[in-house]
């Protein structure tokens, strides 16, 4: 009957079938002619082994709660936090929210916090009732976390982790950018100043041919400096507008054909071939114009001068696809992930000789990001490079008017 007590104290219900089997086996031994005392001895040994092998009752050990704080209430309180938060019972992690379990691993619950955080700065913080510390390398070699401890009462405290890695990366990127920009600006300025000082020196006795060559160099470096400043200003303007979605309807195919015609008139029609179809997108005309010109300019600089640069615009599903292909030397696969970095060059001397600032593809990347597009660069050594940009096709005007 359900809920009745077992026949012997401490006897688990799961042992009853085994005892019945033992008794039946003993009866079978007697019927088979086994001696009474032998059968009894076997039965006693069997029952004793079952008794000794019985499972111990499980008693859940709960830590004492002094009533100052409800453990379950605290767990429910920290779970919704977007940043990693852990509740400490003394020095042991009693609970960790989803963000903390994701950052440090689910195994941290129940661990000593000094073992889980395992960094000198964090351990020093844990020896104090409250405080804040900056811990490097907590979840990765370059990670930086701000760890704060707040006491709830004499027993419980909260640990909050705030990831400062992105901020440090941005600060590092700004520092690198200023250093690189300073270097890029200083180089043409030094050249200009050096040649002008030579021309201005009455004791230099520079002949007319040399003076003309110096003037040409100064003019070239001044134009390079002007281009660099314009690219820096353009990049700054694009970054400032990156959160403002463009609203103008632009036929990307028509824009590419128009730019291709202008460039062909300047460098020669044999140097560029455009194959475009109608592909209307929502965009910023000035920025899309700059994007196409930058890609064509790069292809002309580094492509084979005997092979035309091919520009194509076509639609694919719900996307407008722009491609610019050259037949140059190609780019090694190791360089491709870094091509859109500011001032990154695969061959610095060749790039400067061609008049490049190292910002062209960085500008392209930021324009693509503002237009919520995708940028892909593929290249094969000895065969050439193709840059592909994808934008969403603009919705039909009639559909927009009907929806409005």
Q: Are residues 219 and 351 in the same domain?
A: no
| Range 320-336 average pLDDT | 90
Residue 6 within a domain: no
Give the confidence band of 355 by pLDDT, cuts at 50, 70, 90.
low
Instruction: Judge whether 261 and 385 are in contact, CB under 8 Å.
Output: no
Position 15 scores a pLDDT of: 61
Greater confidence (81 vs 400) lies with 81
Greater confidence (197 vs 138) lies with 197
What total of structural domains would you count in the chain?
A: 4
Residue 213 within a domain: yes
Residue 143 within a domain: yes
Domain closes at, from 222, 240, 258? 240
By three-state DSSP, how is residue 15 classified? helix
Strands 92-96 and 85-89: antiparallel
Domain closes at, from 145, 163, 181? 163
Tens of pLDDT, residues 360-382 = 898 999 999 999 999 999 999 88
Q: Are residues 150 and 199 in the same domain?
A: no
Dist. CA 90–CA 229, nearest whole Å: 58
Dist. CA 329–CA 332, nearest whole Å: 9
Q: Are residues 114 and 176 in the same domain?
A: no
Tens of pLDDT, residues 52-107 = 655 544 433 434 544 445 566 667 777 777 788 888 888 888 888 888 888 888 88
Q: Are residues 105 and 141 in the same domain?
A: yes
Question: Given phi > 0 = left and psi -120 to 50 = alpha, else beta, which region is 9?
Answer: beta
Residue 316 within a domain: yes
By three-state DSSP, how is residue 345 classified? coil
Q: How many CA atoms lie within 13 A of 366 on its CB side?
A: 22
Instruction: Judge whether 309 and 293 are in contact, CB under 8 Å.
Output: no
Q: Are residues 258 and 391 in the same domain?
A: yes
Tens of pLDDT, residues 338-350 = 888 887 777 666 5
Q: Are residues 215 and 344 in the same domain?
A: no
| Range 123-127 average pLDDT | 80
* pLDDT of 127 above 50: yes
Q: Are residues 255 and 363 in the same domain?
A: yes
Dist. CA 308–CA 269, nearest whole Å: 9
Residue 303 within a domain: yes
Domain closes at, from 133, 163, 193? 163
Instruction: Judge whether 162 and 83 are in contact, CB under 8 Å.
Output: yes
Domain of residue 32 covers 13-52
Residue 328 within a domain: yes
* pLDDT of 291 above 90: yes
Instruction: Judge whether 143 and 163 are in contact, CB under 8 Å.
Output: yes
Tens of pLDDT, residues 185-234 = 888 888 889 888 888 888 877 888 888 888 898 898 888 888 888 888 88
Lowest mean pLDDT among 24-38, 175-189, 235-249, 298-312: 24-38
Q: Which long-range contacts (CB under 8 A, 24 or more apart) does 61-66 make?
A: 63/89, 66/155
Q: Are residues 356 and 292 in the same domain?
A: yes
What CATH number does the domain containing 366 carry? 3.30.565.10
| Range 152-173 average pLDDT | 77
Position 181 scores a pLDDT of: 72
The stretches of 245-323 forming alpha helices (DSSP H) are 252-267, 285-302
Q: Phi and psi (nearest 5°) for 27? A: -60, -40
Residue 3 within a domain: no
Instruction: Judge whether 373 and 391 are in contact, CB under 8 Å.
Output: yes
Q: Are residues 76 and 216 in the same domain?
A: no
Tens of pLDDT, residues 14-62 = 566 666 776 776 676 667 666 666 667 666 666 666 656 555 444 334 3
Q: Are residues 114 and 196 in the same domain?
A: no
Q: Using the structure block, give the residue that is written with the tokens 């200023």.
A: 178
The stretches of 151-207 forming alpha helices (DSSP H) are 165-200
Instruction: Judge whether 362 and 242 are in contact, CB under 8 Å.
Output: no
Q: Are residues 118 and 183 in the same domain?
A: no
Q: Are residues 258 and 382 in the same domain?
A: yes
Helix (H) or strand (E) holding 389: strand 384-392
Residue 58 within a domain: no
What CATH number does the domain containing 84 carry? 3.30.450.20
State the chain's mean pLDDT as an integer: 79
* pLDDT of 400 above 60: no
The percent of residues in the chain predicted with pLDDT above 90, rounded, is: 21
């Amino acid at each position: 009957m359900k809920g009745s007590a077992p026949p012997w104290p401490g006897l688990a219900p799961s042992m009853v079938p085994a005892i019945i089997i033992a008794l039946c086996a003993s009866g079978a031994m007697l019927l088979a002619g086994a001696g009474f005392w032998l059968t009894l001895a076997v039965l006693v040994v069997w029952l004793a082994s079952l008794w000794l092998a019985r499972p111990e009752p499980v008693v859940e050990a709960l830590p004492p709660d002094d009533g100052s704080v409800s453990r379950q209430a605290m767990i429910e309180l920290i779970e919704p936090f977007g940043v990693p938060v852990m509740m400490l019972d003394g020095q042991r992690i009693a609970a960790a929210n989803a963000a903390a379990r994701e950052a440090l691993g689910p195994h941290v619950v129940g661990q000593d916090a000094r073992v889980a955080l395992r960094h000198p700065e964090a351990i020093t913080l844990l020896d104090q009732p409250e405080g804040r510390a900056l811990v490097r390398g907590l979840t990765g070699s370059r990670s930086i976390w701000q760890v704060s401890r707040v006491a709830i009462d004499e027993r419980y405290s909260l640990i909050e982790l705030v990831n400062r890695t992105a901020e440090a990366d941005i600060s590092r990127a700004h520092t690198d950018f200023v250093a690189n920009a300073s270097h890029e600006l200083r180089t043409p300025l030094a050249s200009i100043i050096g040649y002008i000082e030579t021309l201005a020196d009455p004791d230099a006795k520079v002949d007319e041919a040399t003076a003309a060559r110096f003037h040409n160099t100064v003019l070239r470096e001044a134009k390079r400096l002007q281009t660099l400043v314009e690219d820096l200003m353009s990049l700054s303007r694009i970054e400032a507008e990156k959160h403002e979605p463009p609203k103008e309807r632009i036929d990307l195919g028509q824009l590419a054909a128009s730019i291709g015609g202008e460039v062909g008139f300047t460098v020669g029609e044999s140097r560029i071939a455009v194959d475009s179809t109608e592909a209307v997108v929502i965009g910023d005309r000035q920025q899309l114009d700059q994007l196409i010109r930058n890609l064509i300019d790069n292809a002309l600089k580094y492509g084979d001068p005997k092979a035309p640069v091919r520009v194509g615009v076509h639609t694919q599903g719900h996307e407008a696809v722009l491609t610019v292909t050259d037949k140059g030397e190609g780019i090694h696969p190791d360089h491709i992930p870094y091509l859109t970095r500011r001032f990154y060059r695969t061959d610095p001397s060749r790039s400067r000789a061609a008049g490049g600032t190292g910002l062209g593809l960085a500008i392209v990347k930021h324009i693509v990001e503002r237009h919520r597009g995708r940028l892909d660069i593929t290249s094969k050594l000895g065969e050439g490079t193709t840059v592909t940009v994808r934008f969403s096709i603009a919705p039909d005007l009639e559909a927009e008017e009907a929806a409005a």
